[in-house]
Amino acid sequence: MSSISDNLQAVLAHIHAYAQQSGRDPSQVDLLAVSKTFGADAVLEAVAAGQRRFGENYLQEALDKIQAVQAAKLVSTAAWPLEWHFIGPIQSNKTRPIAEHFAWVHSVDREKIALRLSEQRPDHLPSLNICLQVNISGEESKSGVLPAEALALAQQIAVLPRLSLRGLMAVPEASDDEQQQRRAFRQLKELSQSIQAAGIALDTLSMGMSSDLHAAIAEGSTMVRVGTAIFGNRNYAK
């Protein structure tokens, strides 16, 4: 089995190569390491290999992990601290710890959640960075605002204090067909462009996971969220 450090270097090399193939500057594609279901030890291994941004889906698991990682008091992170991103479904009664412990939230899909995050973001912290999760494939079971409703939601959120609306996030319907993957990502990019044309500044397209990195980067992703390719297969039974 390859190590987390080896996997991380391989993913970074892929991001670099895919960006160059698409005529993009590789430094414009950030890597979010999705550490859900893996322990603080796995995060610390990735930190030792240079990774600083981590994505989590499950709140209690994330809070325990953040605390365990902080307790490790990493000297190496003094200059460039860790950045935690919440990317999972949000229950409205669980917004306060998210507002208090994360730098980014990628999964905002309704105004109620944004209002609570805005009210609950502590004053001593910088604004909470927000991406709207869009149900780009229009799947019934998926969370995310529908594309037709994204502009209105962006307008509501852009004016809220203590939040900084940064962009859009999507998890398209799974497909092995790269052309189909690209179509979904292109739709998200075009939606972002239309929101910007309406006067709302956005600089982030959070799209692409282990199995569709290439398509996402080709279509303009600025942040890929990669779990399996770094940490291995998840075991939800544990």
Residues that bind ligand PLP (CB under 6 A): 34, 36, 57, 87, 171, 209-211, 225-229
- Tell me how far apart the alpha carbons of residues 129 and 161 are, in angstroms, rounded to a whole number: 11
> Residue 57 or 155: which CB sits closer to ligand PLP?
57
Distance between the two ends of the chain, CA-based, in angstroms? 20
> Residue 188 or 209: which CB sits closer to ligand PLP?
209
> Residue 34 or 153: which CB sits closer to ligand PLP?
34
Which residue minimizes CB distance to ligand PLP?
Answer: 227
Minimum CB distance to ligand PLP, residue 106 (Å): 7
Minimum CB distance to ligand PLP, residue 7 (Å): 11
Beta strand 128-133 with 104-108 is: parallel
Minimum CB distance to ligand PLP, residue 169 (Å): 7
Structure tokens at 156: 């509501």
What length is written for the chain? Answer: 238
Minimum CB distance to ligand PLP, residue 190 (Å): 21
**Per-residue 3-state assignment (H helix, E strand, C coil) for 37-49:** CCCHHHHHHHHHC
Minimum CB distance to ligand PLP, residue 57 (Å): 5
Cα angle: 101, vertex 128, 154; to 5 degrees: 135
How far, in Å, are 122, 149, 154, 167, 229 from residue 161 at the CA level? 11, 21, 14, 16, 37
> Residue 184 or 226: which CB sits closer to ligand PLP?
226
> Residue 125 or 213: which CB sits closer to ligand PLP?
213
